[in-house]
Amino acid sequence: MSTERPFGRALCAMITPFTAAGELDLDIAREHAAHLVSEGCDGLVLNGTTGESPTTTDEEKSALIRAVRETVGPALPVLAGVGTADTRHTVELARQAEKSGADGLLVVTPYYSRPPQAAVEAHFLRVADATDLPVMLYDIPGRTGTRIEPATLLRLAAHPRIVAVKDCAYDLLGSAKVIARTSLAYYSGSEELNLPLYAVGGAGFVSTVANVAPRQMRAVLDAFDRGDTTDATRLNALTLPLAELMMSSGLPGTVTAKALLGDFVREPLQPADREAVDGLRAAYEDLVRALPAQSNT
């Protein structure tokens, strides 16, 4: 069983900012990264689902890593999403991310082709062998169509560079079993499971909601680490209305995060409509009133 947190506890799945014309906006990316760190994020995950990786080029991915690396300095963990449906391309992106300054790799299950578990395992091993960077596996079957089964995770845990999992599988029993039997660090990728997964031995979270409420999301883990589970439960409850609107309202988290941040999405995503934006802002303002950003409690 692992108590290690190889990338910290409170990680943000950072948006990729664009201009109104749809171009990569590195100035805003730098500003946003610096803000997230100042508000308590232990690490940043770039070029993931929230980062609109399916619609950014390899060159844009690399430029974003370099810009954020330069902004946050060498001490803060910066992970790069490199997963694609193509093993060869994923290996190329992994090597590119290493050269661009990433500290770790987020590797999603190959999607659309729905490979069997033996092929899933082979894919991850190929990527883990391609660089010297530690790997966080990304288990999100609702998007990829393929689960990383617990038995597969148990085998993959033997690889020295496969150190963590971003867990969006919605299988708390399966996750708890892998946590108990391996040294893998489990990070919740589903806001409603941040606290439950942490309570059974998880390492922390990789959060989309942290783009807009980083300190409020971290406060839940801080309370739990103090041993105040009652306050952790209270604080977690305060985050749920905003998390539900951002992640379970029928709009992608990228769209809702950018609606609150005033940023632009890239097609095929479309911006949230006025009614959705108003609801998001109301929930965000309620959370800030209940739990001001400058407070850790």
Using an 8 Å Cβ cutoff, are 275 and 258 in contact?
no
| 258 within domain boundaries | no
**239 in a structural domain:** no
Listed in sequence order, the residues at least 6 apart from 103 whose beta carbon sits closer than 8 Å to its beta carbon are: 7, 77, 78, 79, 133, 134
Please give the pLDDT value at position 3: 54
* Nearest Cα residue to 236 out of 228, 154, 265: 228
Number of domains in the chain: 1
Percent of the chain having pLDDT more than 70? 97
The reply to whether 187 belongs to the active site is no
| Structure tokens given for 86 | 């193509």
Q: Determine contact, residues 61/29, Cβ cutoff 8 Å.
A: no
Q: Is residue 76 in some structural domain?
A: yes
pLDDT at 223: 98
Does 138 qualify as catalytic in the annotation? yes
Alpha-carbon distance of 189 to 203, in angstroms, equals 11
Q: Is residue 220 part of a domain?
A: no
At a CB cut-off of 8 Å and minimum separation 6, what does 165 contact? Answer: 136, 137, 138, 139, 148, 153, 175, 178, 184, 185, 186, 187
pLDDT at 4: 80
CB 202 within 8 A of CB 169: no
- Domain membership flag for residue 85: yes
Q: Tell me which residue has tokens 């990228």.
A: 254
Tell me if 224 is assigned to some domain: no
Active-site position among 99, 112, 166, 186: 166
Cα separations (Å) of 235 from 4, 70, 228? 24, 33, 11
3-state secondary structure of 89: helix
* Cα–Cα dist 195/202, whole Å: 9
Domain hosting residue 112, numbered range: 10-213
Of 61, 138, 187, 284, the active-site residue reads: 138
Task: Give the pLDDT score at 295.
Answer: 43
Give domain status of residue 36, yes or no.
yes
Q: Which residues of the chain have pLDDT under 50?
A: 295-297
Please report, for the domain that includes residue 141, its CATH number. 3.20.20.70
Residue 83 maps to a domain: yes
